[in-house]
Amino acid sequence: MTATISSRLLDWYNDHARHLPWRAPPGEPRPDPYRVWLSEVMLQQTTVAAVTPYFAKFTKTWPTVEALAAAPEEDVMAAWAGLGYYSRARNLVKCARAVSEMGGFPQTEAELKKLPGLGDYTAAAVTAIAFGERAVVVDANVERVVARLFAIEEPLPGARKAIRVKADGITPDERSGDFAQAMMDLGATICTARDAKCLLCPLRDPCEARKTGDPLRLPVKAAKKPKPSRTGTAFWIEKDGAVWLVQRPGKGMLGGMRALPDDGWSARKNGNEDAPVSGAWKAVGVVRHSFTHFDLELGVAVHAGNASAPSGEGDWWPVSQIEDAGLPTLFAKAARLVLAAR
């Protein structure tokens, strides 16, 4: 059955592979490991549609891993703004510099795992797709396909060990990179979370979940715990057509990103005690943002008058060029709120 699954899937992939800018079509020479690695880091918890323009911008600005390694970290962070999960961008720079010092990407899964920010999945993906070596590549799409294919009933995340064992059992020695991408494509287009197009699926005959008549039930997911909520205030301080921006600490939420000053997301009920400068403040509204572990409601306050620079490090940024500041999504929302309120 293993040979049947891999051969059926690869035959399907030959005709239905998605055309993505970081891929090489079936039968073509393998893609540059830099492009594979960069795309896989960007795609973690992010959609293909969201990643595609960022990938194009990054590869145009930094066409090689050596170019990315030489880039100032703040430039990379600004270019990453809006993709979220900003620790990925910091690790991107660290990894690029490590690879540049090594003279290129290592070609084994074990050595790739030693690089900053490369976990099991990314190392396996680069190994298989860029270097053509056999590796077991399991992302969320592959998890879903395998859970349905073998009717794995154990809820996630506990089922991941069994899913990986089954994925290992069907991964072929040849074309393991194409096989991994075929599994991803099958999960993204045919065996999706909300739909199972079994009539179009090349694995419909061996699929155990299809035989049960309810493939959408799998994979079983543990009940989500409700997210806690936090509140805070962001402060808009403007002088002579420029707004005061700070750089957030390197560690922690949105680490290293350029942002509006805020109160640490611990707003008090009785005013703006944590405002970076004294004076009159006007509340202009609230923006909401959902992080992985909590939801945030951020009030936005505008300083009345032509303020002086707050204490601490920061820069005056032209308001007319605020879109070029590389603000993360949360603070970009706050800036748009202020400008819309005028």
Distance from C-alpha of 277 to C-alpha of 285, rounded to nearest angstrom: 19
- Write the CA distances from 39 to 22, 52, 254, integer angstroms: 7, 9, 21
pLDDT class of 85 with cuts at 50, 70, 90: confident
pLDDT over 70, % of the chain = 96
Does 263 share its domain with 170? no
Per-residue confidence (pLDDT) for residue 208, from 0 to 100? 96
Does 130 share its domain with 170? yes
Per-residue confidence (pLDDT) for residue 275, from 0 to 100? 82
Does 245 share its domain with 296? yes
Closest by alpha carbon to 237, among 183, 298, 182, 301?
A: 301
Global model pTM greater than 0.85: no
**Catalytic residue set:** 40
Does 289 share its domain with 163? no
Among 26-35, 171-180, 250-259, the minimum mean pLDDT is found in 250-259
Is the pLDDT reported for residue 241 higher than 80? Answer: yes
pLDDT per position as a tens digit, 11-44: 999 999 999 999 999 999 999 999 999 999 999 9
Among 14-28, 146-160, 262-276, the minimum mean pLDDT is found in 262-276
Residue 22 lies in a domain: yes
Does 7 share its domain with 118? yes
Residue 33 lies in a domain: yes
Structural contact between residues 252 and 270, judged by C-beta atoms closer than 8 angstroms: no
Name the one residue in this structure whose structure tokens are 């900003």. Answer: 86
Per-residue confidence (pLDDT) for residue 159, from 0 to 100? 96
Structural contact between residues 313 and 298, judged by C-beta atoms closer than 8 angstroms: no
Last residue of a domain, one of 217, 245, 278: 217
Distance from C-alpha of 332 to C-alpha of 234, rounded to nearest angstrom: 11
Number of structural domains, the chain? Answer: 2
pLDDT class of 270 with cuts at 50, 70, 90: very low
Closest by alpha carbon to 318, among 234, 245, 233?
A: 245
Average pLDDT (1-20) is 91
Is the pLDDT reported for residue 250 higher than 80? Answer: no
CATH code at position 278: 3.90.79.10
pLDDT per position as a tens digit, 302-340: 998 777 778 788 899 999 999 989 899 999 999 999 999
CATH code at position 138: 1.10.340.30
How high is the mean pLDDT of the chain? Answer: 92
Last residue of a domain, one of 217, 237, 272: 217
- Write the CA distances from 50 to 39, 118, 336, integer angstroms: 11, 21, 20
Residue 223 lies in a domain: no
Last residue of a domain, one of 190, 217, 244: 217
Is the pLDDT reported for residue 131 higher than 70? Answer: yes
Three-state SS string over 248-284 comes to CCCCCCCCCCEECCECCCCCCCCCCCCCCCCCCEEEE
Residue 180 lies in a domain: yes
Residue 146 lies in a domain: yes
Show the domain range for 318: 229-340
pLDDT class of 269 with cuts at 50, 70, 90: very low
Is the pLDDT reported for residue 268 higher than 60? Answer: no
